[in-house]
Amino acid sequence: MKPPKLILFLSLVLFSKLAGAQLPNISDPRVHIKLPTVKGDSLTLTAFKGKVIVLDFWASWCVPCRTANRELAKLYNKYKSKGFEIFSVSLDESKKDWKKAISKQKITWVQVNDPRGWDAQTALRWNISQLPTTYLINKNGDVVSIDLEGKELDENIKKLLND
C-alpha cells in the first residue's frame, strides 16, 4: 500500500472502533462513584438513577469551574423540581478550600470530594483530563453526552426530563 492509502485505511479502522464505543452507564462498576459529602457521609452516583444528572468534575482552584458553577446554578434552580440533579465531584486536595468554594458560591446541589486530585481513582475511571468536565446522564443511568454548555445543555436536559 502507498502511504496515503495506509493512512486512510488506519483512519477508517480507528473510526469504526470509536463509532462502536458505547458511553458508560452509571451502574457499571468500572465507573462507580462512592465519595464523602461535605458532612462526611458517603454518597453514590447510582443513588440518583431515575433522575437526569449532570456529573460535574471540578476544583475550587479552577477558574473556569467557578464560572461554570454559576451556569449550573441557573440550570439547577430551573429543573431541580422536575427530576434533575447535579452530582459534583471535587478533585480538591484541600477539603478546607473545597468547602470554602461551596460556601462562597452558595452551591446547593450534591457535592462530593475525591481528595487525591489528578491521581484520584474517580478521575482516572472517568478519563478526566481537564476541568471542568461534565457528563449528561439520562434517567436510565446512561451517559448521553460530554461537556455540553449553555443553551445546548439546557435544551438537552429539558428533552431528557420530558422523555
* pLDDT per position as a tens digit, 23-73: 889 989 889 999 999 999 999 999 999 999 999 999 999 999 999 999 999
Q: ∠ at Cα 122 (69, 79), nearest 5°?
A: 35
Q: Are 43 and 35 in contact (CB under 8 A)?
A: yes
Q: Are 112 and 89 in contact (CB under 8 A)?
A: yes
Residue 73: which H helix or E strand, with range?
Answer: helix 63-79
What's the pLDDT at 72?
98
**Beta partners for residue 90, in sequence order:** 58, 113
Mean pLDDT calculated for residue range 8-29? 57
Is residue 13 pLDDT above 80, yes or no?
Answer: no
Domains, the chain, in order of start with CATH, read: 23-162 (3.40.30.10)
Confirm whether pTM is higher than 0.75: yes
> pLDDT digits over 93-140, tens only?
999 999 999 999 999 999 999 999 999 999 999 999 999 999 999 999
